[in-house]
Structure 1
């Protein structure tokens, strides 16, 4: 019998659950990893297991892409069969992906308890599939691990008992504390792309509402280019294959000084982010990472489920308006970067493990 089964399927889930998986190893907790295959490119997430020094997943369902309902349904059936075989005490899911939704639904209809890491995040925008996923998983979970007091407050306001909620901080801090130094020492990504620390802007853009809308995608690129021109900085854009396909489909020319590069592995991306003058993004995870690393952030969205980053002054919302993006970058480059990290001290993983109904060795197990 397995103590814990982790269900994951995307890069952010691998990154944020890695500290909890590692804590299991260090404290003698038996676990298994179920990979749904939601990200099915080895270049996008397979190498993460190597870089994070994790064993390969025990099961890979290989679901791949597809419409939300089809993808989630296929995951649900596969996870249910594996959980029945493993018979874990607890199933852990993270975040707001279709993998988290499928893992949560499967566990809620079976014997294991369900734990949700990064519970209580809210954008209050139900047009986002992620918002639906995170709300559903929160309401069916037995253990909710909120990264901040604000996240806990959202959950309590929705009628969820405080007895089910533990504020732990965010495991992204655990992950970055372990890997930022490794990235600085091991990667050559700055030299590989002719970059100097502090002399470029980093950009990430992949969300459907941005890259699947040609007008928004053009405005986003134009705003980033104008910001770069105004400050004499290159804009480095590691572009997701899907976004690259949209550039071709919509016949969008990428304006200078924006330059696209291939998607980066985890350590290279951490180095690119930590050495940038500022980051322009539509990713929730990048907002957190930038805040923890002390990198000014501009979020090219209308809302954020990480309001703590804007509360402490680490982040500005710009929507996808070209001029607002340009102005927000200027504001963040001129801002005082001495904000306080709202996401904890880097011990979230151990807090999570000790709150679960599993036997945890008080001393680390040397294996």
Structure 2
């Protein structure tokens, strides 16, 4: 297999999720892999620990982008990536997640005419005040191939009009990494290292910009955490979070509490080991919601929304916002649930996401990426909702699209809920499809007897 792929990372969560994919790519004979680290997490040692733990090669290129403003950071990464793309001449660029590094990679690839592959596509919090929400929407929009972790994420893309043939539900590679490192994490001596013997253990992480950039939210979180009177609170603090706590003069309040231990950021193995020994986790992280669900550790999310609603539906995760009384209530309640691992039918994957991602990517490299350039003979496309009749029932979606030269955008089952649009999916009488196409083509479809909604 001949081909050349540039993989872009910039933060520790991206390294975690990209690690199993990188390992599988490296096992493909004839495939050249160029790894870029943007330096978005500007403490290289923080990333280096993860690279060593996952036995990854050091990046081919380290951009060392260390800027204070988001705009300059994004601009510098795009400029840095452009020169790399010009030199490497990749067949595709891949990134995972919703950071500024991902946004920059997507824009740089699009502007240089290189197919962009987005892993973890379709996540939506429906909160446009979140920088990550804007990043992931733009990355999805310019992507040539979207790998969604769940069916719901794929449904979000379909609802927004993305072509179904380039959306693939694969699971999240974060579960692949967790399964690979779980045995090592079980042997972690992190509690002995920290000198922690009083249980229950409550693990805390806070790093989202939506919290860090608003003092009133951080004050609410800190008041909630310092009001907890059960067990030991362990908080591995990200350097940026530490600087924010100092800026808001909240550090002393935390240090006054004997049951709160603040540590430097932990390596992946020790952090997973800490999670496994916790009775409850308090976090604003998206990835930790996925990991805690797999491990069965109750999770209190200090946000007003989440792009991982599947975690909430398991009952192992709950939104608490930043109201201190609500945080105390939910932590106390969830700490009594006990550990309930979800191995079978885990909503975030079965540990084989990286296999699917690599296999599908290789198939696209062989056949080529779709150009997504529509040609219209009349005007732009119209949209119509049609009920499947007897004539369409039993026909595959791909057959309907080729026969009537329309695109099936969305599919709603007889129960009214959206279902995934797949080329080989057979339509059932009474279902509803949303199609797009030129007026004459939609009229032809209506003449077949389909009922317009």
Same fold (TM over 0.5): yes
**In structure 2, what is the equivalent of residue 363 of structure 1?**
none
Does 1:316 pair with 2:318? yes
The answer as to whether partners of 1:2 and 1:86 remain within 8 angstroms in 2 is no
TM-score, structure 1 as length reference: 0.92
What displacement does 1:328 show?
A: 1.2
Does 1:354 pair with 2:381? no
Paired with 1:62 and 1:2, the residues of 2 have a C-alpha distance of 27
**In structure 1, what is the equivalent of residue 72 of structure 2?**
70
Q: How does 1:152-163 map to 2 (within 5 A)?
A: 152-163=154-165
Could you say which structure has the higher helix fraction?
A: 1
Choose which of 294, 301, 305 in structure 1 pairs with 2:303: 301
What displacement does 1:60 show?
A: 0.6
Q: What RMSD over aligned residues (CA atoms) do the two structures have, in Å?
A: 1.7
**In structure 1, what is the equivalent of residue 346 of structure 2?**
341
What displacement does 1:222 show?
A: 1.9
Paired with 2:199 and 2:34, the residues of 1 have a C-alpha distance of 41
Counterpart of 1:166 in 2: which secondary structure? strand
1:190–1:336: structure 2 CA closer, same or farther, 3 Å change rule?
A: closer
Paired with 1:274 and 1:34, the residues of 2 have a C-alpha distance of 31
**In structure 1, what is the equivalent of residue 216 of structure 2?**
215
Paired with 1:250 and 1:152, the residues of 2 have a C-alpha distance of 39
What displacement does 1:211 show?
A: 2.9
The answer as to whether partners of 1:123 and 1:305 remain within 8 angstroms in 2 is yes
The answer as to whether partners of 1:43 and 1:265 remain within 8 angstroms in 2 is no
The answer as to whether partners of 2:305 and 2:319 remain within 8 angstroms in 1 is yes
Choose which of 84, 100, 117 in structure 2 pairs with 1:115: 117
Paired with 1:320 and 1:43, the residues of 2 have a C-alpha distance of 31
Paired with 1:198 and 1:86, the residues of 2 have a C-alpha distance of 52
Paired with 2:202 and 2:357, the residues of 1 have a C-alpha distance of 35
**In structure 1, what is the equivalent of residue 44 of structure 2?**
42
**In structure 2, what is the equivalent of residue 364 of structure 1?**
none
**In structure 2, what is the equivalent of residue 225 of structure 1?**
226
**In structure 2, what is the equivalent of residue 247 of structure 1?**
245
Q: Which runs of 5+ in 2 are unaligned?
A: 367-453
1:104–1:258: structure 2 CA closer, same or farther, 3 Å change rule?
A: same
The answer as to whether partners of 2:125 and 2:306 remain within 8 angstroms in 1 is yes
Give 1 or 2 for the bigger CA radius of gyration: 2
Choose which of 127, 133, 136 in structure 1 pairs with 2:135: 133
Paired with 1:302 and 1:267, the residues of 2 have a C-alpha distance of 29
Counterpart of 1:3 in 2: which secondary structure? strand
Q: Which moved more, 1:119-128 or 1:236-245?
A: 236-245
Q: How many residues are matched?
A: 355
**In structure 2, what is the equivalent of residue 177 of structure 1?**
179
Paired with 2:101 and 2:216, the residues of 1 have a C-alpha distance of 30
The answer as to whether partners of 1:280 and 1:300 remain within 8 angstroms in 2 is yes
1:275-320: CA deviation from partner (whole Å, max 9, x where unpaired):
1111000111111111111111000001101111001112100000
Paired with 2:111 and 2:192, the residues of 1 have a C-alpha distance of 51
TM-score, structure 2 as length reference: 0.75
What displacement does 1:26 show?
A: 2.5
The answer as to whether partners of 2:279 and 2:338 remain within 8 angstroms in 1 is no
What displacement does 1:333 show?
A: 2.2
**In structure 2, what is the equivalent of residue 103 of structure 1?**
105
Paired with 2:167 and 2:71, the residues of 1 have a C-alpha distance of 29
